[in-house]
Amino acid sequence: MATYFTKDHEWVRVDGDIATVGISDYAQSQLGDVVYVELPEVGKQLAKGDEAAVVESVKAASEVFAPISGVVEGINGGLVDQPAKINEAPESEGWFLKLIIADKGELAGLMDETAYKAFLETL
């Protein structure tokens, strides 16, 4: 499974035609304690860059953008009752949604983990 990152600090983990999307550890640390999450409807069509979810913390509210285009195939409903999972395990159990990938070519515009770590050093 390949994992990619965006400059907006979303991650996308690809397994076949399914992409799991969440926010990076850096993003959750910048947000602080997450207290609310709004997830998309299953079946929603998302274009790359569309708002996919909303996260609210004690510090701020922030949008989570679709890193690639696709149809929402599943959501992590457990986050609604336990939004703190985003802080505890942002790059595993704190995932937001799963997409059926519309265009794998869009992955070429994303960073791998090494490039993302280098990007973080510039912030």
Q: The domain that contains 35 carries what CATH number?
A: 2.40.50.100
Full-model pTM: 0.96
| Domain total of the chain | 1
Average per-residue pLDDT in the chain? 97
Q: What pLDDT is stored for residue 1 in this prediction?
A: 87
- Segment 63-75 shows an average pLDDT of 98
In the chain, what are the helix, strand and coil shares in percent, each to the nearest 5? 25, 40, 35
Q: Residue 60 domain-assigned?
A: yes
Q: Residue 78 domain-assigned?
A: yes
115, two tokens = 């490039």
End-to-end CA distance of the chain: 27
For the cut 90, the answer to whether the pLDDT of residue 9 exceeds it is yes
- Chain segment 11-63, per-residue pLDDT in tens: 999 999 999 999 999 999 999 999 999 999 999 999 999 999 999 999 999 99
Q: What pLDDT is stored for residue 61 in this prediction?
A: 93
Q: Residue 58 domain-assigned?
A: yes
DSSP 47-105: -TTSEEEEEEESS-EEEEE-SS-EEEEEE-THHHH-TTHHHH-TTTTT--EEEEES-GG
- Domain enclosing residue 77, as ranges: 2-102
